[in-house]
C-alpha cells in the first residue's frame, strides 16, 4: 500500500527549536505520525511541558536543553538520544532566530548570533547526527530554510545570508552522504504565523501588505500547512529525493 511508505511508527526523530513556532508544530506532526521524539531547545521548562503533553498521547518524548551553536552540547544531545532510543532515524533542524537592521548598522553580535544559530547550528547537528546515520546506513535530515534563501528582504542581510547558506549546505551534505543512503532535504517556508512574525500578522496594515504578495492570499499556519512536506521528507516516500528545497509559501516565489 502506498500509505505504508508514509508510516513513521517506531521511528526516532530529533527536532531542534521545538519549544515554539515551526519546531513545535513539526514535533507534534511527527508524534501524530507515531514517531518518538527528542525535543531540543534552550527553554527546557517549555520543552518539559510539551514532552508531558506528548507522553499523554502514548508516544515517547525526551526533552533536552541544548545550545545548538556549541558542539559539545550538540554531541551530548545526540548521546542522550541514543541512550534513550538507541537509534536516530530523522533530524529536523528547526531552530532559528532573526535580527532585523540595516546592513550598515547591523552589529557584529547580531550577525554572529544569526550565523551561529541558523547556519552553524544546522551544520553541527547534521554532522553529529550524520555520524550516527552513516553507521546505520540510513537516515533523513530535514533543514528548515526559508524563501529568503532565494529572495531577500529589507534589513535582513544576516538572516538572508544564513538561510542562503542552509540551502547550499543541504545540497552539499546530500551529495556527500548519498552513498550512505542518507537523504538531506530542506523546506523553505514563506510567511507563517509564528512567534517570530507575531508583530507583523497582528498588525492589520503590515498583515495586509504581506498577504498582497501571496497568491493564495493568506498567512501559512505551521500545523496545517507544513505537516505534509514534513511527513513526506521524513518517510520512505522520499527515498529518491535528496538535495532539494521544497518551498511552502502560498505561491510567493511565483511573483
**E strands, the chain, in order:** 12-16, 36-41, 61-65, 90-93, 139-144, 182-189, 245-248
Active site residues: 159
3-state secondary structure 148-181: HHCCCCCCCHHHHHHHHHHHHHHHHHHHHHHHHC
Would you say 230 and 187 are in contact if contact means Cβ atoms under 8 Å apart? yes
Which DSSP helix (H) or strand (E) runs through 84? Answer: helix 71-85
Residue among 175, 92, 95 nearest 140 (CA): 92
- How do 139-144 and 182-189 pair as beta strands? parallel
Cell numbers linked to 150 = 532565494
Amino acid at each position: 500500500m502506498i500509505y505504508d511508505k508514509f508510516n513513521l511508527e517506531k521511528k526516532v526523530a530529533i527536532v531542534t527549536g521545538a519549544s515554539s513556532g515551526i519546531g513545535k508544530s513539526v514535533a507534534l506532526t511527527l508524534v501524530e505520525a507515531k514517531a518518538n521524539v527528542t525535543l531540543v531547545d534552550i527553554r527546557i521548562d517549555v520543552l518539559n511541558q510539551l514532552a508531558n503533553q506528548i507522553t499523554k498521547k502514548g508516544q515517547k518524548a525526551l526533552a533536552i536543553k541544548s545550545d545548538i551553536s556549541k558542539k559539545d552540547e550538540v554531541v551530548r544531545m545526540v548521546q542522550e538520544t541514543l541512550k534513550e532510543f538507541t537509534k536516530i532515524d530523522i533530524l529536523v533542524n528547526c531552530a532559528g532566530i532573526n535580527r532585523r537592521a540595516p546592513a550598515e548598522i547591523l552589529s557584529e553580535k547580531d550577525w554572529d548570533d544569526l550565523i551561529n544559530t541558523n547556519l552553524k547550528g544546522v551544520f553541527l547537528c547534521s554532522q553529529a547526527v550524520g555520524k550516527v546515520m552513516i553507521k546505520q546506513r540510513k537516515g533523513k535530515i530535514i533543514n528548515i530554510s526559508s524563501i529568503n534563501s532565494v529572495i531577500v528582504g529589507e534589513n535582513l542581510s544576516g538572516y538572508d545570508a544564513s538561510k542562503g547558506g542552509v540551502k547550499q549546505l543541504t545540497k552539499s551534505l546530500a551529495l556527500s552522504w548519498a552513498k550512505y543512503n542518507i537523504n538531506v532535504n530542506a523546506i523553505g517556508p514563506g510567511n507563517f504565523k509564528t512567534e517570530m512574525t507575531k508583530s507583523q500578522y497582528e498588525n492589520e496594515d503590515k498583515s495586509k501588505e504581506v498577504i498582497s504578495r501571496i497568491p493564495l492570499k493568506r498567512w501559512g499556519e505551521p500545523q496545517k500547512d507544513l505537516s505534509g512536506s514534513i511527513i513526506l521528507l521524513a518517510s520512505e516516500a522520499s527515498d529518491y529525493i535528496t538535495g532539494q528545497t521544497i518551498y511552502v509559501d502560498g505561491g510567493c516565489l511565483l511573483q
